[in-house]
Chains A and B, each alone.
Chain A
Amino acid sequence: MKPILRSYLAEVNLGTTTPGKGQNINIQDYPQLREVYICGLEVFDKNQLGISPSGKTVVSALSGITITLMDKFNMEMIYQYPTFDLNPANVGGFYRDFKPFFLQLTKSYISILDTTGLAANESVMLNIFYITAKDWEKYKSLYGAGK
Chain B
Amino acid sequence: MEQGNNIECLKTFRIKIPLFNEQGNGQPGQKYFFPDNPIFKGKNIVGIDANLNEIAPFGPAIQQGDLVNNDGNLGALLNFNGAKFVYCTIYGEDQIEKFYNVPLRSFYMIPSVTAITLKKQPRRVKPYYGQIFPRKSFLFIPVSTVLFTNKTYVSLTFYYN
Binding site for B on A (CB under 8 A): 1-9, 32, 42, 44, 47-55, 88-95, 125, 127
Contact = CB atoms under 8 A, between A and B. Distances in A.
B82 to A, nearest CB: 9
Interface of B: 4, 6, 46, 81, 84-85, 87, 97-103, 105-106, 109-112, 121-124, 126-130, 140, 142-145, 147
B126 A55 contact: no
Contact of B110 (A2, A8, A53, A93): A93
25 contacts: A3-B46, A3-B128, A4-B126, A5-B130, A6-B98, A6-B99, A7-B100, A9-B103, A44-B103, A48-B84, A48-B105, A48-B106, A49-B84, A51-B142, A51-B144, A53-B87, A53-B142, A55-B142, A88-B124, A89-B109, A90-B112, A93-B122, A93-B123, A95-B126, A127-B103
A89 B46 CA distance: 21
Given A4-B129, A51-B142, A53-B140, A89 B103 contact: no
A48 B103 contact: yes
Given A44-B103, A127-B102, A127-B103, A3 B140 contact: no
A49 B80 CA distance: 11
A88 B109 contact: yes
A109 to B, nearest CB: 21
Given A9-B87, A50-B85, A50-B145, A94 B124 contact: yes
Contacts of B46: 3
A26 B105 CA distance: 26
A5 B129 contact: yes
A32 to B, nearest CB: 7
Nearest to B5: A1
Contacts of B142: 51-55
4 residue pairs, one from A and one from B, having the closest CB atoms: A93-B124, A3-B129, A9-B101, A50-B84
Contacts of A53: 87, 101, 140, 142
Contacts of A54: 142
